[in-house]
Chain A
Amino acid sequence: MKQISPKNLPSFKLFLGALLLLIGMTPWLSAEEKQSQAPAPAKRSDSIEFAKQIQPILAKRCYSCHGPDEQEGGFRLDTEEGAFVETHSGGFAIVAGEPEESLIIERILTDDEYMRMPPEGEPLKPREVKLLTRWIEEGAEWEKHWGFRKPIQPEIPEVSDPEWINNPIDAFILSRLEEQHLQPTTLATKQTLIRRAYFNLTGLPPTPAEVDAFLRDESSDAWSDLLDRLLASPHYGERWARHWLDLVRYADTNSFERDGDKPNAWRYRDYVIRSFNEDKPYNQFVKEQLAGDELDEVTPETITATAYYRLGLFDDEPADPLLHQFDQYDDIVATTSQVFLGLTVDCARCHDHKIDPIPQTDYYRLLAFFRGLPPYAIGRKEETLLNFSQRDITSAETEQIYEAWEAEKQALRDQILPLEQKGISKMPGAAQRATEGPRREKLLAAKLDDYLNEEDWQTYTALKAELEKVESRELPPREVTLAVNGTNPNPEPTYVMLRGNPHVLGEEVTPGFPELFEAETPDFPELPGNAESSGRRRALAEWIASDENLFAARVMVNRLWQHHFGRGIVRSTNNFGQLGDPPTHPKLLDWLAYELVKNDWKLKPIHRLIMQSKVYQLSSEAREPELSLDPANDLFWRFNMRRLDAEEVRDAIHAVTGELNPKMFGPGIYPEISAEVLAGQSRPGKGWGNSSETEQARRSVYIFVKRSLITPILAEFDFAETDRTCAARFSTTQPTQALAFMNSPFLQEQSARFAERLQEEAGSNPADQVTWALELALSRLPSEEEVTRGVDLIERLQEEHSLSKEQALTYFCLVTLNLNEFLYLD
């Protein structure tokens, strides 16, 4: 690279040298900055990381004039190509290895106000200049953002305490802790572990008997056996399906004025539960949802999976129908790119992505894969809903029954018809003509016996009776599911839309993967004439789920980690781009992605791996100096406590009170909603059904998800926002939750049930009742003091407040269900 000496500042080199020296002597960070940075990013192999340390400075201070929107002086710093090009003034902004020759440093440091960059605001901080300078010194490597690089099979790091390691996960975690001279906290007790494992894998608390058995099992396989049992439990699928349903914006209705039902959406929910339970390989799971109708082997299951495309918002009365059609595509592009790739391609709908290298054309190229999908429906036309979004998936056996039934009916009709004709031929002309019209049946019933002989008439009535019998036979119901239907094998062309406006078209584009992945554009072979679909989505699915790709694998293992540890290794689990969070343990993340592929994309082995690690078995106990140095637990020196999420809260209550109905699958259930809440609807009660008390006590994953009427106890505890992909739930604490937990009819009712259970199972001695209640609710034996406190409360309520024994016990149960320990996992 040509070296350029600054012309207007002859003594520049000298000056710069002095200045760098000065900067070098200033402390690296101010005291305050040190504070805010603690703990420092653990890696200090000392070389500058472009994406982490340099790019943010460029983005914040330079991009507005030298970036995607404007390139003043024809110069841009947001791309490698642009940054190293010869500038208009004939110099080079960045000369690798030579900060003193790099114009960017010169222009940042100059005293000349007219020359100094950036022209507005304060000059760069000394710390920032030093980073830039060192980066150039080290070779100005324009490193691709971590999230856009393929995972690399990492080496398992060595640690100074190999004794501590259960499996490689621990090596990755411990080596980072050791670098920082931090130590992991104590190990959790078996009591804590079993509760943690039950909730994390099944969303339910263990029963006291299960806790007891686990505590007694002193074999070295106790933990591993427990994991096997839980992973084999059907409740595992119910719990983990719900995480997936959050991601794919699952709901049973469309939103907007009518918030109409999405018929048979529940079959998709059941499909997800079954897929998790049978440990369907994740790559297969991806392919089924994205292209279940285009695979070699299309089954009712893979068709049901395509309901993935039908779960979004739908306005049956859009102000701008064309815009709404593309809003639906946008929903699919946003969900698909964030959920499967951890990429916010949807940010490029109106213009190039402002931060990530996603040009606007990428958005429309991705959209082109879906262009053959018709909209969910058109307006309120029932037939369009059926043609576009419903599909008959009746099983082959049932289909055979129907075919046999049809044949049987036809055979009878074939015998009936000649007899009818025989009679008709003897009728007067007018009557004969009448049998050709709609009056035929009536006329035959009234007159035919006059024109047939006795024998024929006997035969005829017998055949008719037989036909009637066959016709009224009860057959297994046909099965219909929400799914994509009516796809266009020759999709309309896709155009870039200027500012995202479907009324203003730009250039035509063809299907292609986001540029940053540097993947080859897929080929689409000539379709057979009878093809029902273009095969484009299959090409997309196969690329996303390919063994070579690993991007999708990395996104998914991060989600598994997230739901075990309370946060992902990348906290922004739907966004691995530059506005997302960097991974706290990038190598561990890549390693897990490889493990997933190695295990044929099966998730259960990854769960097992994670849960058998030592880091999973840490307590949540605080210790110093770890707490002060790493309060956010970036380094996983302890286990993160978490509040139960909405479904766990409701299901745990039912489990503890003994009301939980484990029935699986089927159409959504409707918990009772109070009139006050229904009054918020424009037609109070509309679209909400009735379920029996036992049905209502089923697991929350089966609750009908009505977008405009979320079941209050779920809404109170931060149920997923249903209208877009939801990567992480909130965990708010609000007084309205406390009101609901103290006063709502649901809690009162459940407390009464809990009290009845105690009386039945623990007898009439208050101490026994209290002990059993706390054991059920907290999965541990209570202390003597706790029992005394409970008994005291029950006694005081009777003696000082004149409550009945039953009422006092019910109120004690209410208090128990309100305990922080009941709602928070250690």
Chain B
Amino acid sequence: MAFFKRPVPNTFCGRTRREFLWQAGGGFTSVALAGLLAKDGFFQQAYGATTNGPSANPLAPKPPHYPAKAKSVIFLFMYGGPSHVDLFDYKPTLFRLDGKTVDVKTKGRGGEKNQGRIVGPKWKFKQYGESGHQISSLFPHLAECADDLAFIKSMTADSPIHGSAMLQMNSGQILSGSPALGSWVNYGLGTQNENLPGFVVMLDPTGGPISGAKNWSSGYMPASFQGTVVRSKGTPILNLNPPEGMTDAVQRELLDSLQAANQEHFATRSDNSNLAARIASYELAYKMQQHAPEAVDLTKEDEKTLSLYGVDQPETAEFGRRCLLARRLVERGVRFIQLYAGGAHNDSNWDAHGDLEKNHSYHAGRTDKPIAGLLKDLKRRGLLDETLVIWGGEFGRQPTAEYAEGTGRDHNSYGFTMWMSGGGIKGGASVGETDELGSAAIEKPFHVKRLHATILHQLGLDPNHLAYFYAGLDRKLVGVEHTSPIREIIS
């Protein structure tokens, strides 16, 4: 373990960061420089097998590259691809053209088309707050938070197919094998609470998303950075509970005996810090057993709070519970939390190919109040400022119908909407536009990597510098080309 050394904050080989980046420039250096620095012990490479020698906890807290606006991230993943034109991207033309066949270029599950029947949005839009954000009637509660939201209405992705698009939204690449966003964040910043995992994933009760664990894998980074699935019911973390019949006292007895033997073994090998780390990991695991159940225990929450999240209503109880859990985890220092709204396949998530009205009413209905509750709760506790909340799916949906009949829409990666809130984001802002049908981003298109750059930036990490040397290249979440955060929505 542990080949991750960090530089002294704000000094790069004795220079200031600004100087460093200036010298680094673009082109050649962006690829190779960090790799060369790695050889100077800047970011040390990982070779895995060597266990002797100095070691450090890879999850030890690390200073950001520059002062951070956000400490934690809650990514509300609207799996399946919510229809932006029915939710936030108001297109009056679409209402007018309902049922008409128009020329429009689309690409989705059903392939590429040049023409299609417009499906008018099924919900009315209204402006909210001082910002005047247009929000459809599917989100009455969220609309109350309009001025805290910053919309990116011109998102684009490389793939309109779930498998590869999920991987891209989560890891930046359409091929599997790269670390997830949450892994990058923990690699860059370390953890603030060793008693809990730093990268938490909470799945929908209907199942995981397509590609399952690939979505929270640490890829070519060590497993210390992979996502941990936390459940809101039952045992929160895999293997957290001692087996039936093993009391706490018995477990302590076993641990004491184990640690005595391990200490004895260590005494003659005291230069091997991995042995010490393994001894410590048992105490950490033991503490995790005490802390994790407390972290997910909602009985400490008052009725008002539960109701704020909709935990008291059957429709919203499940997602509300997870949103509330997310807040509790943020309070306890968890860096990155991802909540999947929707799971499995088809209408178990936002993937509305058949009956859009039914699908989106259902998924908006069970998430609107919980999400609004989360934003309001974070705000009243003063946590929203340091918590970056992200809403969106792997892509959006087409303005036209997928089939001859019905309201179902196919996937759309040419243009879709996401929003962010808190964590140094400019509430009330909106950036980018799709065309008048909402079929493609035309004004300031933002590729997924710009979103990733923004997230890292708000956490105080330089997206163009956070690199991990692997297989001859300095790999970055945002890729080799210089990628800027979306300045328009940063306050």
Contacts and interface: CB of A to CB of B under 8 A. Distances in A.
Contact of B251 (A70, A118, A716, A742): A742
Contact of A820 (B15, B27, B266): B266
Contact of B36 (A56, A68, A70, A572): A56
B222 to A, nearest CB: 4
29 contacts: A64-B28, A120-B22, A256-B211, A317-B163, A319-B174, A327-B175, A354-B28, A574-B471, A575-B471, A627-B271, A638-B52, A640-B51, A682-B208, A682-B210, A682-B344, A712-B238, A718-B222, A721-B177, A731-B51, A732-B1, A732-B223, A735-B281, A738-B281, A739-B238, A745-B243, A797-B253, A807-B245, A820-B275, A824-B275
Nearest to A56: B36
Interface stretch (B40-48, B68-76, B118-126, B434-442): B40-48
Interface string B258-283: 10111001101111101101110110
Contact of B32 (A354, A681, A718, A748): A354
B159 interface: yes
A793 B250 CA distance: 10
Contacts of B268: 621
B250 A257 contact: no
B19 A743 contact: no
Contacts of B48: 718, 728-731
B250 A676 contact: no
A821 B265 contact: yes
Interface string A785-826: 010011011001100110100010001001100111101101
B49 A562 contact: yes
A63 interface: yes
Contacts of A21: none
A803 B246 CA distance: 10
Of A259, A344, A572, A679, most buried by chain B (CB within 10 Å of CB) is: A679
Contacts of A743: 239-243
A723 B49 contact: no
B67 interface: no
Contacts of B35: 355, 579
B472 A575 contact: yes
A257 B53 contact: no
A722 B214 CA distance: 11
A544 B244 CA distance: 57
Nearest to A580: B472
Given A640-B51, A721-B177, A820-B265, A708 B213 contact: yes
A801 B249 contact: yes
Contacts of B471: 334, 338, 344, 346, 574-575, 724-725
Given A255-B176, A721-B177, A731-B1, A738 B50 contact: no
Contacts of A745: 243
B52 A734 contact: no
A732 B222 contact: yes
Interface stretch (B92-100, B133-141, B229-237, B450-458): B229-237
Nearest to B213: A680
Contacts of A641: 51-52, 269, 272, 274
A647 interface: no
B154 interface: no
B207 A734 contact: no
A256 B164 contact: yes
Interface string A545-584: 0000000000000000011001100011011010111000
B209 interface: yes
A733 B274 contact: yes
Contact of A682 (B174, B212, B469): B212
A443 B33 CA distance: 82
Nearest to A716: B223
Nearest to A255: B176
A643 B278 CA distance: 11
A811 B254 contact: yes
Interface in B393-422: 413
A301 interface: no
Nearest to B158: A319
Size range of the chain A interface in the assembly: 35 or more
B95 to A, nearest CB: 30
Contacts of B165: 319
A188 B260 CA distance: 24
A737 B281 contact: yes
A318 B32 contact: no
Interface string A321-358: 00000010000001000100000101100100011000
A133 interface: no
B257 A579 contact: no
A455 interface: no
A516 interface: no
Given A640-B50, A679-B207, A715-B223, A70 B27 contact: yes
Contacts of B260: 789
Contacts of B19: 120-121
B386 to A, nearest CB: 26
A430 to B, nearest CB: 46
A815 B257 contact: yes
Nearest to B14: A122
A69 B53 contact: no
Contacts of B380: none
A467 interface: no
A662 B130 CA distance: 72
Given A725-B471, A729-B49, 7 more contacts: A620-B52, A683-B345, A707-B214, A728-B46, A728-B47, A732-B58, A744-B239
- Most A C-beta atoms less than 10 A away, residue of B222, B223, B253, B413: B223
B429 to A, nearest CB: 30
B169 interface: no
B160 interface: yes
Contact of A59 (B36, B158, B231): B36
Nearest to B284: A735
B282 A738 contact: yes
A598 interface: no
Interface string A280-319: 0000000000000000000000000000000001010111
A354 B473 CA distance: 10
B330 to A, nearest CB: 20
B54 interface: yes
Contacts of B39: 56, 579, 581
Contacts of B31: 354
A664 B385 CA distance: 59
B293 interface: no
B274 A731 contact: yes
B299 interface: no
A319 B15 CA distance: 44
Q: Report which residue of A334, A638, A803 has the largest number of chain B beta carbons within 10 angstroms of its beta carbon.
A: A803
Interface in B1-39: 1, 14-15, 19, 22-25, 27-29, 31-33, 35-36, 39
B203 interface: yes
A816 to B, nearest CB: 9
B175 A313 contact: yes
A736 interface: yes
B66 interface: no
A674 B53 CA distance: 37
Contacts of B160: 319
Given A709-B212, A716-B223, A723-B177, A319 B159 contact: yes
Q: Which 8 A-B pairs have the closest CB atoms?
A: A723-B177, A344-B472, A257-B163, A319-B159, A738-B285, A728-B48, A735-B284, A680-B208
Given A633-B52, A819-B261, A820-B266, A677 B238 contact: yes
Interface string A59-75: 11001100111100000
Q: With a 10 A CB-CB cut-off, give which of B52, B54, B58 has the most chain A CB atoms.
A: B52
A581 B39 CA distance: 8
Nearest to B211: A708
B160 to A, nearest CB: 6
A41 interface: no
Contacts of A354: 28, 31-32
B28 A68 contact: yes
Interface in B115-169: 158-165
